[in-house]
Amino acid sequence: MTSTALLPENATDRELITARHLINGEWLGEAGTKRMNPARPGELAALSPSGTAADVDAAITAASAAQPGWATMPAPSRGAILITAGNLLIERQTAIAEDLVREEGKTLAEAKGEVKRASDVLRFFGSLGWAATGEVLPSGLPDTTITTRRESLGVVGLITPWNFPIAIPAWKTAPALISGNAVVIKPAELTPLSATHLARALQDAGLPAGVFNVVHGKGRVVGDALARDPRIAGLSFTGSTNVGLGLQEILNARRARVQLEMGGKNGVLVLDDADARKAAKVVAAGAFGLTGQACTATSRVYVTPGIRSAFLDALTEEAAAYTPGDGMDTDGPDAVRMGAVVSSQQHAQNTAAVRSAVERGATLLSGSAILDETHDGDADRPLFFPAAVLTELPFDDAAVTEEIFGPVVAVLEVADYEAGLAAINDSRYGLTAGICTDSLARATDFAARAQAGVVKVNRPTAGLDLNVPFGGVKDSSTNTFREQGKSALDFFTWGKTVYTGV
């Protein structure tokens, strides 16, 4: 495939600006949907098609035809393709990251880190092509050997969000492919280029036509068609809790496998024995890094009385350093640390959450510009949103209990460790949780009792190594299959036990 096939007539000097469906190895679809740069009003970031149920049907048909041949290819050969694709992402890292910044808004440094993460994921799972996947077990019968095997599901559907537009597609795609499945993916509408870069790397690495297919479009059309098609043996989804639970009903009705990673309202407990400044840095990185647009972002903090004042002073100072701006501004000591909000809708949601909290009596320690009507996001303004710190809130306030998905953190006082742990666990969500303390005993107890899939001690709630399991509990996840690490293979395979007599 040549890149010129993806360029519009009025192409800029960028290599890629138009995304298309990838179906059976062919780039298809008229790209009529515009995606504008959230940091630069009026600048076109990408063009993409809006898929239909017929496009989904064609993609699943192609995947169904290609999957048996892919599954019978030796696993090391499948792995070699993934490793090559990962290497290609690194070779193209700067161009991909710049496109990611333009369509999603995060800083260039964050975008480059995400591209590297996608590359590392492909190479990690590619290396598992050489790993053993079954066991040899003893039998109670004479002259009998028992072995276990892992078999591919067949064709799987993937629905991915805009906030990590190349990393999440990669960490769902890689375990699916190394396990011998064929894939149909619906990327987020807001970030079509990032998924296109992943598809190009896989195609250029030699992935057979039809094994990986991309259909762009609206979730209620493309996502719904994926979920309802009986040829989709499993669906992995990352996104909002409401949408995820709706998909689960559809998949459960036909007994297909479903994996959901959904919302989070991640809490951190800061104890008196912690270093206030270090704790503030941990919380700020989790709350304001990535513009707060991560399901693992820190959004509520509980502090004990002895450290409250010093911690709030330090956190307010840290928040001031996260001045929002164009993610491409990377030069000098004043390089932007926090990029744009992804969309005007998200900007309005952030603004409404903070303003309504203040109207209910909250104190806004950082981000006062939010209260100025002239800072509303609209088509003529960059979608910048300042880091916001809210205090003096009741524990059941919406700003404390409901996911905002922006750089907004609420800080509340608790009497002691037990009260703080109870507050952390008093949530419908259970994705990540953190504690800042110098007490090993408290840290150990917190790790055991916190109701979250991931626990961080003196570390930001956001961020995870690729070789470890990831997932939540409660309304954050189906809590059945984990993503990332070797555990990710479990969702995309099923087990078989084989008895062999001599």
Question: By residue range, what is the domain housing residue 421?
Answer: 266-466
Q: pTM (2 decimals)?
A: 0.94
Output the tens digit of pLDDT for each of the chain's 502 residues.
333 344 443 334 577 799 999 999 999 999 889 999 999 999 999 999 999 999 999 999 999 999 999 999 999 999 999 999 999 999 999 999 999 999 999 999 999 999 999 999 999 999 999 997 889 999 999 999 999 999 999 999 999 999 999 999 999 999 999 999 999 999 999 999 999 999 999 999 999 999 999 999 999 999 999 999 999 999 999 999 999 999 999 999 999 999 999 999 999 999 999 999 999 999 999 999 999 999 999 999 999 999 999 999 999 999 999 999 999 987 656 678 999 999 999 999 999 999 999 999 999 999 888 988 554 545 689 999 999 999 999 999 999 999 999 999 999 999 999 999 999 999 999 999 999 999 999 999 999 999 999 999 999 999 999 999 999 999 999 988 999 999 999 999 999 999 999 8
Residue 21 lies in a domain: no
Residue 12 lies in a domain: no
279 and 258 within one domain: no
Residue 345 lies in a domain: yes
Residue 2 lies in a domain: no
Residue 33 lies in a domain: no
**Phi, psi for residue 266 in degrees, rounded to 5:** -80, 130
240 and 277 within one domain: no
359 and 241 within one domain: no
- Determine the pLDDT at residue 335: 78
d(C-alpha 176, C-alpha 492), whole Å: 6
Cα dihedral sign, 481-484-487-492: positive
For the domain that residue 425 is a member of, what is the CATH number?
A: 3.40.309.10
What is the total residue count of the chain? 502
Quick one: 499 exposed, middle or buried, by C-beta within 10 A (0-12, 13-18, 19+)?
exposed
Active site positions, annotated: 295
Helix axes 305-321, 276-288, angle to 10 degrees: 50
- Determine the pLDDT at residue 5: 43
Total structural domains in the chain? Answer: 2
271 and 252 within one domain: no
227: its two tokens: 């979920």
140 and 89 within one domain: yes
313 and 399 within one domain: yes
377 and 450 within one domain: yes
User: Strand 136-137 to strand 493-501: parallel, antiparallel, or no bridges (unpaired)?
Assistant: unpaired
Residue 34 lies in a domain: no
User: 215: which residues sit within 8 A by CB, 6+ positions away?
Assistant: 21, 23, 51, 55, 56, 59, 184, 185, 186, 222
For the domain that residue 160 is a member of, what is the CATH number?
A: 3.40.605.10
Decide if 259 contacts 478 (C-beta within 8 A).
yes
241 and 304 within one domain: no
352 and 230 within one domain: no
Residue 37 lies in a domain: no
236 and 296 within one domain: no
Residue 31 lies in a domain: no
CA angle 445, 447, 453 (to 5 degrees): 150
457 and 430 within one domain: yes
Residue 177's alpha-carbon distances to 2, 83, 183, 189, in angstroms, are 24, 12, 7, 23
339 and 241 within one domain: no
